Amino acid sequence: MAEPILSVRGLETFFRADEGTVRAVDGASFDLHPGQTLGIVGESGCGKSVTARSILRIVERPGRVEGGEVLLRRADGSVVDVVKLPADGREIREIRGGDVGYVFQEPMSSLSSYHTIGNQLVEAVRLHSSATKAEARARAIELLRMVGIPRPEQRVDSYSFELSGGLRQRVMIALALAAEPRVLIADEPTTALDVTTQAQILDLIRRIQRERNLAVILITHDMGVIAEMADTVAVMYLGKVVETGPVDAIFHAPRHPYTQSLLRSIPSVLAEPLSRLATISGSIPHPFARPPGCPFHPRCDRHIRGTCEAGAPPVVELAPGHEARCFLYADQAGGAR
């Protein structure tokens, strides 16, 4: 396999407040390869979006990237550690949008209501190129056509509030692709969309990825979307990546109890009529009251008393490319760290 275009190693992002410290991302590690889709999944509040924002150093205050590495392989072959770059420096501004495009979760709050979508696209194009205003406008129309917006020559002069939710999401994708990035981060790209529009947006991302050999990070809480779109999966819980592996292994041979619980909670057409859905017991702990040891042990039905709460579980390689952070497999061959 080719060298990763993005390698995240031990990433830590904390929010420090008078009440305590929220470890929003607590040592996350994963790789992303060219042309690959990495799905990051977990319950709300598990650190998925903060992980994505940390990659581009756009975490809102008082959040701060405290440690780890985010190694990005740029188009010229050089490798840069984004964590070491000044958050407002020139190089990180070139990376944002230039090397890595970002589709934000809420298009209505991310798009300006005071400027036309064309003006916003023109600004994004000119920020990363030497195009004239006329050339950038032509590029904006081309981008709108590429993402499937009808009558792009007229829509380019529309405001965001004049568009439907699905069209706004397409505009967000066009903005993310304006400078032809090699990595696309899509943060809950189908949230609040109807089922038909969701399918269209996912098909659009897949088509553009295929045409441009994009590497995609797809953040979602929807396991169905992960099954359809992802090549590899990272399961997050309380800021930690608790299991990673190929999508088939995660769905057909999940090993971490949290992954198993997530999959059991998915509705099935084979279930008995009127049967109750399986749920994960308890709830995500308060950010200022993280449990000791394995963060999932208070909710785990396979909790090993005296062990799981005593210390951090090791990361165990269960098969090539398939790892789980769990004491259940600490003595297995394949190695733990």
* 3-state SS assignment for residue 239: coil
Higher pLDDT residue, 45 or 107?
45
Crossing angle of helices 165-176 and 195-212, in 10° steps, is: 20
Locate 210 and state its tokens: 């295929």
Measured CA to CA, the distance from residue 95 to residue 77 in angstroms comes to: 14
Residues linked to residue 11 through DSSP beta bridges, in sequence order: 28
pLDDT higher than 70, residue 310: yes
Give residue 336's pLDDT.
58
By residue count, the chain amounts to 337
Residues 226 and 217 sit within 8 Å (Cβ to Cβ): no
Question: What is the pLDDT averaged over residues 166-191?
Answer: 92
> Over the stretch 5-46, which tens digit does the pLDDT of each residue have?
999 999 999 999 888 899 999 999 999 999 999 999 999 889
What pLDDT was estimated at residue 205?
94
Q: What are phi and psi of 78, to 5 degrees?
A: -75, 155
| Alpha-carbon distance values, 170 to 120, 187, 213, 224, 331 (Å) | 14, 13, 19, 21, 48
Structure tokens at 168: 């706004």
> What's the whole-number mean pLDDT along residues 185-214?
90
- Only one residue has tokens 């441009």, namely 212
State percent of the chain over pLDDT 90. 73
Q: pLDDT tens for residues 234-277?
A: 999 999 999 999 999 999 999 999 999 999 887 776 667 777 77
Tokens for 86?
């000044």
What DSSP state is assigned to residue 289? S
pTM of the model: 0.92
What is the separation, in whole angstroms, between the first and last Cα of the chain?
Answer: 23
